[in-house]
């Protein structure tokens, strides 16, 4: 024990070290990045491709499928999914954790270059590398009522002043400005006038470009070198003077058949905040940045931007989701619980010790250990978040364990009176050194498997495991250095008064009596080994994926009936929503709203609504789902209170994938499957992705080859002709020195199919024929979008469990009831599988099962090394079922008050229990074997171990339990994250502490020959 001896001999060094620890701890707290959750990396690559006017089927066959086929061999690829929409496709690639994403991105780009046969006039493919943990916050730039012009007119101001100003804030990496409709040059021609003048549309398209500027090298003239440059590009103002054809020797100018203007594109994406048209600013966090400091900086800068830049031109920038509120709330909640846990732990110390000096000597381990833990977190590059803070709060009682054991041993040695205080401090520390090392190693080692989890769960729980492991480790160092040094100088001559001494003696006598004979011992062993296993199996709660932590917002997804145009969506849906929400936004009705947003996208809209008062969230949810969102034509609504981990697809939602077959058969199977799921899970919300309405109207134009040949055409010019009567045919681009503008050739819009068929076309034969003679117009129905998962067409049913129902219960219902009815409905070759968080839960349970076994093996090996006896190591491990049943019973009893399903964080509580509950057994076994080596009989050794260790066991257990009790009982918002974990540990430690004192003596006394002494029986 050189460490303790040095500390006792050099108290100044110890004092200086403690002061340095406090100073470094305070600096570490100031320097630790603060954020809501730990950094959770889900490596993704996103591929997007634009193809103007293409249908979902064309996007799938011509772009999505060839790209997906080429991406199958990318190293580290975990899953591949895609959505093909009208005009663009999006392919999401999820990679396994630990994948070299820079290398993966290069591989993806290389493979994209090898994809052959992609259409020529597409935009992209574009590859984006993003992480789900990068987004810091969202702001909306609104156009205030009464402002002149359109919000898009301020594009240059926003990109030149707002975006750079925000990107200069420390902690911000980039800012994406979304929702600006791009400018374009629209050449709108009159097809009747063009036909009258004999101008063919393909000729018009070829002549409608602005031309090109071309450099032709240099020319030497005399002693000067001149650069040759052909200035062939038309100015937009002069574009109408371009000759597109000649008739009877006279030119036909572009202005004769078309109107040329610079206009904004009509975008299906629309953003509304608080009733005003808006532009979104998505702000991304810099890696390793302090999220809280960055958010405060952003809010300060936005206030200045509003005053000086935006409001003078009729704009206002307002935050949509303020993560700093949740960060501050969570930090305050955990800090308050931590402080309360410290007070309760110290109260337990005082209850047992009844001596101020002794209480303070033990309690000093808490601030020193916590400060040193902050230092270690800073050195290891971790963040301060609700998980790491919870680890510190959980460790409050645990850091006292070593100090209690050491001080108890020091006082016992000092009470003999034959040695000095310094010698008593050294000798007392030495006697428990082995047990301390063993208990610390087992507690810390149990977290190693958790740290080795290579998935989202491992990233989420790593901070918890690391924080507790650091705190417990440094507490042992504090117990064998600071405590002996303090005790050697501050320990009084009075003995520690034990107010519960009679209780310990009486308990010891009862235990010795109950384990007096072999039949009694075996009865105790059988009952306490089989009972916990049986009870745990029968009463184990059903599983969820993650704790159900809500935020004070309602998230709603609204799907539109396919085919409803953008104008009708705006007038009949968006404007109706704005009118219904306006009185609540103005405070004329209750509950008053803080803010809301509406994001329209192809096929639907997303709505987020926040009340001004947090306690009105449930009232707002009922108001929205039962009144404000009801009765809007051509819509279907899903939603509820948002999750802090996500939106509707929250931590406990289930994705049911229906795959395979043709699109009509697949949609039919999905519709019937959705009906079955809703029947088997009353109250569950089921949201299909994509929507199940295979009713997107389309006009299919079928070429009449014979008639085309008669007029001098074949099929090749017809796609370009048809595009001019839809979204427009892109014929080039124009650069005005600031931005590039697409040039679109657009025909006169048709009011109905008959009008389209009647459009006249000039042909190479010189005849003018209606479009309907060359193309047969067939009304058809098709999908709004096409979703593919791992290369197969799919429909995803997103199932949000009803209140009070866990994910595992939903899975059981689906697998044992719904699937049997759904499988016969699948198309030929179809497949039914669970994906999303349900799949992640099943994988995580498998991983955690292996982790649990691995942790038990680590414990066995460590204990074998500590005791130098495999038998004693096994004896200690045999007490583990007592902890398990305690955790299960605590969950069950808590569930009687409020539903408390088990989740992955709760399971981590059971893993933590492995390292905690063995400490009591270690103390008993270690003391028994020491007494036996000193010559005591087995019975006397067990009696001595109980009498000498029952008080420190009770103290360490109760300080740990009461230190965690605030986290278990806290009613604060966000406390749901820790409640299950704390309940398991409190229940497991309580049960294990009580029954280990009975079970372990029964094990230790097996094979004992000497019966209980008559005198002891008489006293009992």
Average pLDDT over residues 862-866: 84
Helices (H), 318-419: 323-353, 356-363, 365-379, 386-414
Closest CA to 341 of 363, 356, 357: 363
pLDDT band at 375 (very low <50, low <70, confident <90, very high): very high
- Name, in order, each residue with C-beta under 8 angstroms of 601's C-beta and a sequence gap of 6 or more: 268, 269
pLDDT of 649 over the 50 cut = no
Query: Domain 552-695+785-835 class?
Result: alpha beta
pLDDT of 523 over the 80 cut = yes
Average pLDDT over residues 457-462: 76
pLDDT band at 449 (very low <50, low <70, confident <90, very high): confident
Candidate ranges 191-195, 876-880, 910-914; pick with highest mean pLDDT = 191-195
Residue 364 carries which DSSP code?
T
User: What token pair was written down for 749?
Assistant: 């819009």
pLDDT of 843 over the 60 cut = yes
Whether CATH 3.90.226.10 fits 184-264+696-782 = no
The CATH number assigned to the domain with range 43-130 reads 3.30.70.1430
pLDDT of 670 over the 60 cut = yes
User: What token pair was written down for 798?
Assistant: 């997103």
User: 3-class SS at 141?
Assistant: strand
pLDDT of 233 over the 80 cut = no
Average pLDDT over residues 664-673: 88
Query: What's the confidence (pLDDT) of residue 65?
Result: 92
Angle at 419 between CA 418 and CA 423, to 5 degrees: 155
Radius of gyration of the chain from its Cα atoms, rounded to whole angstroms: 37
User: What token pair was written down for 64?
Assistant: 């999505």
pLDDT of 247 over the 90 cut = no
Average pLDDT over residues 314-323: 86
pLDDT digits (tens, 9 = 90+) for 159-180: 888 999 999 998 888 888 887 7
pTM value?
A: 0.79
- All CATH 3.30.2090.10 domain ranges of the chain, comma separated, are 184-264+696-782
Average pLDDT over residues 1000-1013: 72
pLDDT band at 1017 (very low <50, low <70, confident <90, very high): very low
The CATH number assigned to the domain with range 1-31+323-492 reads 1.20.1640.10
Query: What's the confidence (pLDDT) of residue 372?
Result: 92
- All CATH 3.30.70.1430 domain ranges of the chain, comma separated, are 43-130
Strand 224-231, strand 213-221: pairing: antiparallel
pLDDT of 1015 over the 70 cut = no
What residues form DSSP beta bridges with 776? 702
The answer to whether 960 and 916 are in contact (CB under 8 A) is: yes
pLDDT of 24 over the 90 cut = yes
The answer to whether 436 and 406 are in contact (CB under 8 A) is: yes
The answer to whether 511 and 998 are in contact (CB under 8 A) is: yes
Taking the C-alpha atoms of residue 516 and residue 23, their distance in angstroms, rounded to an integer, is 55
Query: What's the confidence (pLDDT) of residue 974?
Result: 65
**Residue percentage of the chain with pLDDT more than 90:** 8
pLDDT digits (tens, 9 = 90+) for 788-821: 988 899 999 988 888 778 888 888 888 888 998 9
Query: What's the confidence (pLDDT) of residue 676?
Result: 92
pLDDT digits (tens, 9 = 90+) for 676-719: 999 998 888 888 888 777 677 888 889 998 898 988 899 888 98
The H-or-E segment that residue 780 falls in is strand 775-782
Q: What's CA 261's distance to the chain center, in Å?
A: 46
Query: What's the confidence (pLDDT) of residue 347?
Result: 87
Query: What's the confidence (pLDDT) of residue 27?
Result: 92
Taking the C-alpha atoms of residue 473 and residue 377, their distance in angstroms, rounded to an integer, is 13
- For helices 976-1004 and 870-877, give the axis angle rounded to 10 degrees: 130
Query: What's the confidence (pLDDT) of residue 1011?
Result: 45
pLDDT of 979 over the 90 cut = no
- All CATH 1.20.1640.10 domain ranges of the chain, comma separated, are 1-31+323-492
φ, ψ of residue 783 to 5 degrees: the values are -80, 155
Average pLDDT over residues 1-11: 81
Query: What's the confidence (pLDDT) of residue 445?
Result: 79
φ, ψ of residue 404 to 5 degrees: the values are -65, -45
Query: What's the confidence (pLDDT) of residue 857?
Result: 86
Closest CA to 807 of 680, 902, 688: 902
- All CATH 3.30.70.1440 domain ranges of the chain, comma separated, are 552-695+785-835
Taking the C-alpha atoms of residue 129 and residue 266, their distance in angstroms, rounded to an integer, is 28
């Amino acid at each position: 024990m050189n460490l303790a001896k040095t500390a006792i001999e050099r108290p100044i060094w110890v004092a200086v070290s403690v002061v340095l620890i406090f100073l470094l701890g305070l600096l570490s707290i100031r320097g630790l990045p603060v954020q809501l959750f730990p950094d959770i990396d889900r490596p993704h690559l996103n591929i997007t491709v634009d193809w103007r006017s293409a249908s979902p089927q064309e996007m799938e066959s011509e772009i999505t499928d060839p790209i997906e086929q080429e991406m199958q061999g990318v190293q580290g690829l975990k899953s591949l999914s895609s959505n093909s929409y009208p005009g663009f496709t999006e392919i999401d690639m999820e990679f396994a954790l630990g994948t070299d994403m820079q290398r993966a991105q290069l591989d993806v780009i290389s493979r994209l270059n090898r994809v052959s046969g992609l259409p020529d006039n597409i935009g992209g493919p574009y590859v984006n590398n993003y992480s789900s943990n990068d987004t810091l916050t969202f702001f909306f730039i609104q156009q205030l009522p009464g402002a002149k012009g359109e919000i898009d007119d301020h594009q240059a101001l926003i990109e030149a002043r707002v975006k750079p100003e925000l990107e200069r804030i420390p902690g911000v990496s980039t800012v994406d400005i979304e929702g600006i409709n791009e400018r374009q040059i629209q050449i709108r021609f009159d097809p009747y006038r063009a036909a009258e003048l004999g101008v063919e549309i393909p000729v018009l398209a070829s002549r409608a470009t602005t031309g090109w500027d071309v450099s032709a090298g240099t020319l030497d003239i005399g002693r000067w070198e001149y650069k040759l440059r052909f200035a062939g590009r038309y100015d937009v103002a002069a574009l109408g003077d371009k000759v597109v054809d000649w008739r009877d020797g006279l030119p036909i100018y572009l202005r004769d058949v078309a109107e040329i203007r610079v206009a904004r594109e009509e975008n299906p994406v629309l953003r509304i905040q608080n009733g005003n048209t808006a532009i979104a600013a998505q702000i991304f966090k810099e890696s390793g940045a302090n999220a809280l400091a960055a958010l405060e900086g952003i809010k300060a800068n936005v206030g200045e931007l509003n005053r000086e830049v935006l409001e003078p031109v009729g704009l206002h920038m307002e935050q949509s989701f303020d993560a700093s509120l949740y960060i501050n709330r969570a930090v305050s909640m955990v800090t308050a619980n931590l402080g309360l846990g410290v007070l309760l732990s110290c109260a337990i110390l005082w209850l047992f010790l009844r001596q101020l000096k002794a209480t303070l000597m033990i309690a000093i381990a808490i601030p020193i250990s916590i400060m040193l833990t902050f230092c270690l977190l800073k050195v290891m590059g971790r963040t301060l978040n609700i998980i790491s803070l919870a680890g510190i709060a959980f460790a409050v009682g645990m850091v006292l364990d070593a100090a209690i054991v050491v001080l108890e041993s020091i006082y016992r040695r000092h009470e003999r009176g034959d040695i000095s205080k310094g010698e008593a401090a050294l000798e007392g520390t030495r006697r428990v050194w082995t047990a301390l090392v063993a208990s610390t190693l087992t507690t810390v080692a149990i977290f190693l498997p958790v740290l080795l989890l290579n998935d989202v769960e491992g990233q989420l729980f790593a901070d918890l495991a690391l924080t507790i492991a650091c705190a417990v480790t440094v507490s042992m160092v504090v117990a064998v250095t600071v405590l002996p040094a303090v005790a050697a100088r501050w320990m009084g001559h009075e003995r520690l008064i034990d107010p519960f001494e009679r209780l310990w003696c009486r308990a010891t006598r009862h235990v010795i009596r109950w384990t007096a004979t072999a039949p009694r011992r075996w009865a105790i062993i059988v009952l306490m080994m089989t009972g916990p296993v049986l009870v745990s199996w029968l009463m184990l709660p059903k599983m969820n994926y993650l704790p159900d932590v809500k935020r004070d917002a309602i998230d709603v997804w609204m799907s539109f009936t396919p085919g409803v145009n953008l104008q009708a969506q705006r007038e009949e849906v968006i404007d109706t929503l704005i009118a219904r929400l306006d009185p609540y936004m103005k405070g004329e009705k209750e509950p008053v709203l803080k803010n809301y947003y509406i994001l329209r996208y192809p096929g639907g809209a997303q709505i987020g609504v926040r009340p001004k008062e947090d306690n009105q969230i449930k009232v707002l949810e009922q108001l929205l789902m039962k009144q404000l969102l009801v009765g809007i034509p051509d819509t279907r609504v899903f939603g509820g209170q948002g999750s802090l981990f996500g939106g509707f697809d929250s931590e406990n939602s289930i994705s049911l994938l229906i795959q395979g077959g043709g699109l009509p058969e697949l949609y039919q199977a999905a519709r019937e499957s959705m009906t079955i799921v809703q029947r088997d899970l009353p109250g569950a919300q089921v949201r299909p992705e994509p929507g199940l309405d295979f009713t997107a109207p389309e006009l299919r134009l079928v070429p009449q080859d014979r008639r085309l040949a008669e007029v001098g055409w074949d099929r090749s010019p017809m796609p370009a002709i048809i595009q001019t009567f839809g979204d427009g045919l892109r014929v080039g681009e124009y650069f005005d020195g600031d931005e590039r503008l697409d040039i679109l050739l657009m025909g006169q819009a048709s009011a109905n199919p008959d009008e389209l068929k009647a459009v006249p076309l000039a042909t190479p034969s010189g005849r003018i024929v209606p479009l309907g003679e060359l193309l047969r117009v067939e009304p058809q129905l098709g999908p709004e979008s096409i979703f593919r998962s791992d290369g197969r067409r799919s429909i995803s049913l997103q199932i949000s469990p009803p209140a009070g129902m866990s994910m595992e219960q939903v899975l059981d219902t689906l697998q044992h009831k719904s699937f049997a009815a759904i499988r016969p409905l699948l198309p030929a070759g179809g497949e039914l599988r669970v994906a999303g968080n349900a799949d992640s839960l099943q994988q995580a349970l498998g991983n955690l099962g292996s982790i649990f076994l691995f942790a038990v093996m680590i414990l066995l090996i460590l204990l074998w090394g500590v005791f130098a006896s495999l038998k004693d190591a096994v004896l200690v491990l045999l007490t583990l079922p007592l902890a398990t049943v305690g955790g299960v019973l605590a969950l069950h009893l808590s569930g009687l008050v409020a539903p408390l399903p088990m989740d992955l964080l709760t399971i981590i509580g059971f893993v933590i229990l492995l390292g905690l509950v063995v400490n009591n057994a270690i103390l008993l076994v270690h003391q028994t074997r020491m007494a036996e080596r000193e010559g005591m009989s087995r019975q006397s050794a067990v009696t001595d171990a109980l009498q000498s260790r029952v008080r420190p066991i009770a103290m360490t257990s109760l300080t740990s339990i009461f230190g965690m009790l605030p986290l278990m009982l806290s009613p604060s918002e966000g406390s749901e994250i820790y409640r299950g974990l704390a309940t398991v540990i409190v229940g497991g430690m309580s049960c294990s502490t009580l029954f280990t004192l009975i079970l372990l003596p029964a094990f230790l006394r097996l094979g004992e020959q000497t019966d209980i002494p008559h005198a002891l029986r008489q006293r009992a």
